[in-house]
Chains A and B, each alone.
Chain A
Amino acid sequence: MLKQIEGSRAVAETVALCRPEVVCAYPISPQTHIVEAVGELVKSGALQPCEYINVESEFAAMSVAIGGSAAGARAYTATASQGLLFMVEAIYNASGLGLPIVMTVANRAIGAPINIWNDHSDALSQRDSGWIQLFAETNQEAADLHIQAFRLAEALSLPVMVCMDGFILTHAYEQVDLPTQAQVDAFLPRYEPRQVLDPLDPVTIGAMVGPEAFTEVRYLAHYRQEEALELIPDIAADFAASFGRDSGGLIRPYRLEDAETVVIALGSVLGTIKDVIDEMRAGGVKIGALGIVSYRPFPAEAIRQAMRHAKRWVVVEKALAVGMGGVVSTDVRMALDPALHQVGTAAIAGLGGRAITKDSLHRLFDLVVDGTAEPLHFLDLNLPVVKHELERMGNMRRSGPIAENLLKHLGTVAARIA
């Protein structure tokens, strides 16, 4: 049914249709509206049977989900940013134990300095955690990915993160086609765990494993992620057949057929990127976009195939590997055929919620098309401010806290975005 609805609410209602039996909630912006809405659905009786637990931390949220999942329940939680980092030990544990928990990550920057706005630093910090990571471009896709995520997670006994841009998606009202309970029930079978804490058939889960088997356990985790590379497109195709729309999959090519320049990105920024590409195409530039839906497993082969005609590429990265540069671009570089000598740029953009405007993207893409873009580019970096602070630091030992100095220099512009 078509609804004009907030992204968080759409996700919550969709998650409820997936019939989770254990939901853990600990509030953190911008995830709050999701867990609030799920809680309301449980308390109103719309989602039953389901235990909704207000935990005392994100570490507890993931731990309760681990217990629930190991005991055979379909378990769900949601978090963001600092909350994701606070539960990291349990995140690795959930994947290591092979528990098919589904978690929404309302992507947000990581402090310090504290910042509640969107970027991908949180989710990308967990790229090696063993979780499958899917990135939604729109609220429709965010909702749809959750249905696919439960099926994928349970098929492989692996946890899945559904990443959606904080505020940009979570707090945006737009039209979303919400499925019916019957549709979801038909698509998502009952959860049959591979391992379960059952007094009638007792098992020990979480035993110590030494060097004799640890590599093999890790290899099997990798193997299952490789299986996910096969399964994700299958599930997306099945979803399209059942629900009548495309959502998910590994990658999403846009006007790539003859594109010499390819713009790669994750999440909602693809919308703006496509608009710029349309405008540049109208001007005769052979440019296209490649959305990565599945960041883990990383669809290297699909990307290599999709990019085989490209001469240049740029990743619009909402995260920074400090001391290195791009996160996604490093993976893209590994995926490409070295014989093709495709020239790439990592463009760090949108950190801490800085708006990625069409104008800025035009300027960036022009540089890439001209072949004059640096390998590492910081979109809309305010260089005078940076230089001023560097000078201050050079001039005095006790130059003070950097973030506060920058804000003082900028003056009262609390929410200046561009």
Chain B
Amino acid sequence: MVYTPVKFYQTGTHTIGNRLLPAEARTVQSEPDRANALSCGHRACQGCGEALGARYAVDAAMRAAGRDLIAANATGCLEVFSTPYPETSWQIPWIHSLFGNAPAVATGIAAAMKAKGRSTRVIAQGGDGGTTDIGFGCLSGMFERNDDVLYMCYDNEAYMNTGVQRSSATPPAARTATTPAIGKAPGNAFGQGKDVPRIALAHEIPYVATATVANLRDLEAKVTRAMSLHGARYIHVLVPCPLGWGTASHETIKIARLAMETGLFPVFEGGHGEVTAVLKIRAKRPVEEYLQPQKRFAHLFRDETGRAAIAHLQAIADRNIARYGLIDPAAEV
């Protein structure tokens, strides 16, 4: 499906400028009757990217499903901060079973709906630990069977709920509680990475996308597109975590935008094994601009080892830019 991203150069802040759009094209969040599926009063930290991403994603899914929606949730921050009973934040039927089984629980719900002849839609959601590590087997199984589930991964790049431990989505060199910034190679190791969006694509499922909370309209549009399809669908959303990343709580959006604009987090969509569209970088930023505000990378700015690590990260960003064609040649002029 071809779509033209709306650019809001006028505002200069890249924010969502609804007033410039026709009513039918306005964001879900601007609607007075938006679902508010994840309502206020939850216990997420100030500046939590996951709470923001989940609200936009689930509300968009609710609009697309005509509110006929059920959610399965993996254990993690989102589950814990939204359901300290009796203060549930969920305005939709919602089930939490275990850390590693949200995709399978969602498969079961979808199967029940099919057996009962109902058109109720099903989403599953989890953090990066619940998705790329412990829930990976169930996720792959759900993809492989092409079960009718939209899976949302809110990636804050570590196990934040248990106190910031490394996951397979933790970037190289990042300090976490289990990859301390000490020794000859401080922080997380430079591994080969575990790129779950690409792994999802390799399953040939109908829809795969990445997004960040810096581009909430893009996130809404992707959820809406995913919901227009059936079968296994996957959206991987980068959600900065002020606590785990060591960033100011008011900088969540800015940090997410820098992740995209450096090329460290490529934003794309695709399906059936192919990447079909990317969110172009309008002004490429050096990775230092993204790394420096984050305490988890503070050790990179101390010595030669750190400078080498930064160069390595820049190479990864450049590789992403080349691989996905993130920079429009015309825009570079």
Q: Which residues of A does B touch, CB under 8 Å? A: 21-22, 24, 49-51, 53-57, 59-60, 63-73, 75, 89-90, 93, 97, 197-199, 201-209
**Contact yes or no, A67 B106, CB < 8 A:** yes
> Which residues of chain A come closer than 8 Å to B93, judged between CB atoms?
197-199, 201-203, 205
> Which residues of chain A come closer than 8 Å to B120, judged between CB atoms?
199
> Which residues of chain A come closer than 8 Å to B88, judged between CB atoms?
204, 207
Chain B: interface size category: 35 or more
> Which residues of chain A come closer than 8 Å to B117, judged between CB atoms?
49
In the assembled complex, how far is the CB of residue B15 from the closest CB belonging to chain A, in whole angstroms?
32
In the assembled complex, how far is the CB of residue B43 from the closest CB belonging to chain A, in whole angstroms?
11
**Contact yes or no, B116 A64, CB < 8 A:** no
Tell me whether A204 and B94 are in contact in the complex, defined as CB-CB below 8 angstroms, given that A49-B117, A56-B138 are known contacts: yes
Tell me whether A51 and B115 are in contact in the complex, defined as CB-CB below 8 angstroms, given that A66-B101, A67-B109, A198-B93 are known contacts: yes
> Which residues of chain B come closer than 8 Å to A56, judged between CB atoms?
137-138, 140-141, 144
CB nearest to A52 among chain B residues:
B111
In the assembled complex, how far is the CB of residue A24 from the closest CB belonging to chain B, in whole angstroms?
8
Interface residues in B212-260 by Cβ distance below 8 A to A read none
CA distance A68 to B147 in the complex (A): 13
> Which residues of chain A come closer than 8 Å to B100, judged between CB atoms?
59, 89
Tell me whether A202 and B92 are in contact in the complex, defined as CB-CB below 8 angstroms, given that A21-B115, A22-B112, A73-B112 are known contacts: yes
**Contact yes or no, B105 A205, CB < 8 A:** no
Tell me whether A53 and B83 are in contact in the complex, defined as CB-CB below 8 angstroms, given that A21-B116, A59-B137 are known contacts: no
In the assembled complex, how far is the CB of residue A174 from the closest CB belonging to chain B, in whole angstroms?
33
Main secondary structure on chain A at its contact with chain B? mixed
CA distance A204 to B95 in the complex (A): 6
Q: Does B194 contact A (CB under 8 A)?
A: no
Q: Of B68-76, B178-186, B277-285, B325-333, which binds chain A?
A: B68-76
Q: Does B114 contact A (CB under 8 A)?
A: yes
> Which residues of chain B come closer than 8 Å to A68, judged between CB atoms?
108-109, 111-112, 115
CA distance A49 to B116 in the complex (A): 7
> Which residues of chain B come closer than 8 Å to A209, judged between CB atoms?
85
**Contact yes or no, B108 A65, CB < 8 A:** yes
CB nearest to A96 among chain B residues:
B97
**Contact yes or no, A53 B101, CB < 8 A:** no
**Contact yes or no, A90 B70, CB < 8 A:** no
CA distance A198 to B95 in the complex (A): 11
**Contact yes or no, B112 A71, CB < 8 A:** yes
Q: Does B80 contact A (CB under 8 A)?
A: yes
**Contact yes or no, A64 B96, CB < 8 A:** no
- In the A-B complex, list the 3 residue pairs whose CB atoms are closest, starting with the nearest: A67-B108, A56-B141, A63-B104
Q: Does B4 contact A (CB under 8 A)?
A: no
Interface residues in B281-308 by Cβ distance below 8 A to A read none
CA distance A299 to B44 in the complex (A): 47
Tell me whether A54 and B145 are in contact in the complex, defined as CB-CB below 8 angstroms, given that A60-B101, A199-B92 are known contacts: yes
Q: Does B84 contact A (CB under 8 A)?
A: yes
In the assembled complex, how far is the CB of residue B9 from the closest CB belonging to chain A, in whole angstroms?
40
CB nearest to A19 among chain B residues:
B115
